[in-house]
Structures are given as C-alpha cells and as structure tokens.
Amino acid sequence: MTFQLRTYEPADFEILYEIDQACYEPSIAYSRRELRNYLRFPGAGCVVAESVEKGSPRIVGFCITAHRAAHGYIVTIDVLRPYRRHGAGSLLLAECEHRLASAGIREVSLETATDNSSAIAFWQKHGYRKLKIQKNYYPGGRDAFSMSKPLA
C-alpha cells in the first residue's frame, strides 16, 4: 500500500471523527466536541494519511499532537483496521515527531491502555518507554501506561 501525508484541513473533520469512532470502542472514542477541542489546542497539530492505491486519495488515518514549551504530547493516532500493519501509523508518527522536533520539542509523551498489547508493542518499537501506570485513566476503570520518548 502507498500512503501520502498532509496537514489536516477543517474540511477533513467529519472523516476524522468517523475514523476515531471506528478505531475505538464507544466509551473511549472522542465526541465531536472533544475532537474539535483537541484540534484547537494551543500548539496542536494534525497529520492525515491518505491511501493512494485506488485512484483518488482516501483518508485512512491521522495523528493529533500538541506541545507546550519543550514538551510534546500525542493525543491520538488512528488508522483504519484494513490499513494497519502496512506502515501508515509509522509514517504518521515519524512525521509528527519530525514536526515536533522542528518546533523545538525535546520529549514527547502519550498514554495507552495497559491491556492493549498491540499498541504497547507499536509504541515500544518506535522508542517509547513505559514511565508509570495511570490508574483508572480510561472509562470503566481501565489503566493506562504513561510512555515517553526523547526527540533528537
């Protein structure tokens, strides 16, 4: 599969919302209001991945980041299931890390569910390390790992 990356545009919002709803269970997926708020955070950035395999580009994933001072944060990375394990997530992450580093960010962090082994493996593959457990981070009492990575 071939993907191209670009910066989020407001016209993409509904597609991003639909992707987030498809990627996460209802108790974890963002509401439209939450997603809009994350996209409007000071220092927010969003990169969109499009599949270019079948004619016109189709949005298949995205990554939202935010930063303040020298610290960056990955809000979410969403890739539709049929496009996972084909490099879209890794491309999105690399581009977001590059943009954060270019903005002077020296460290980036995130949270991921302690019971999501594929997500934990993805983050660790890309150099993120577990720092601590956040108890009851997600609805239903699910815990999360706080993870972090220094940027060059």
> If you write DSSP's letter for every residue of 51-101 in order, what string do you get?
E-SSSS-EEEEEEEEEEETTEEEEEEEEE-GGGTTTTHHHHHHHHHHHHHH
Segment 69-107, tens digit of pLDDT:
889 999 999 999 999 999 999 999 999 999 999 999 999
Segment 12-45, tens digit of pLDDT:
999 999 999 999 989 889 999 999 999 999 899 9
Predicted pLDDT of residue 125: 96
Confidence of residue 57 (pLDDT cuts 50, 70, 90): confident
Q: Say if residues 90 and 54 touch (Cβ distance below 8 Å).
A: no
Q: In the chain, what are the domain boundaries?
A: 3-107
| Mean of pLDDT over the chain | 94
- Domain 3-107 CATH class label: alpha beta
